[in-house]
Amino acid sequence: MKVKELIEKLKEYDQDLRVVTPGFDETDLEDVVAVEPVRVVFHDEMETFHGGRHKESEHGVDAVKIDWQSY
């Protein structure tokens, strides 16, 4: 996905939402292909690490997820 495409997709969402991406263990990169709404429970008090610290949950708050795969 190119920057222009990503910006256009993000414009569809509330501009104050947080944006998240799945945690990962790889060192290589992949193209972004999905931009989708999610509900997230944020754990900002935890130390950042490569596996991710926040959890998708129906009890969470609205956020936007960008991902290299679509489900």
C-alpha separations of 12 from 3, 20, 29, 66 in Å: 15, 16, 25, 13
Has residue 15 got a pLDDT over 80? yes
* Residue 30: predicted pLDDT: 86
19-52 pLDDT, tens digit per residue, is 999 877 666 788 999 999 999 999 888 888 777 8
* Residue 26: predicted pLDDT: 62
pTM higher than 0.95, yes or no? no
Q: Where are the domains of the chain?
A: 3-67
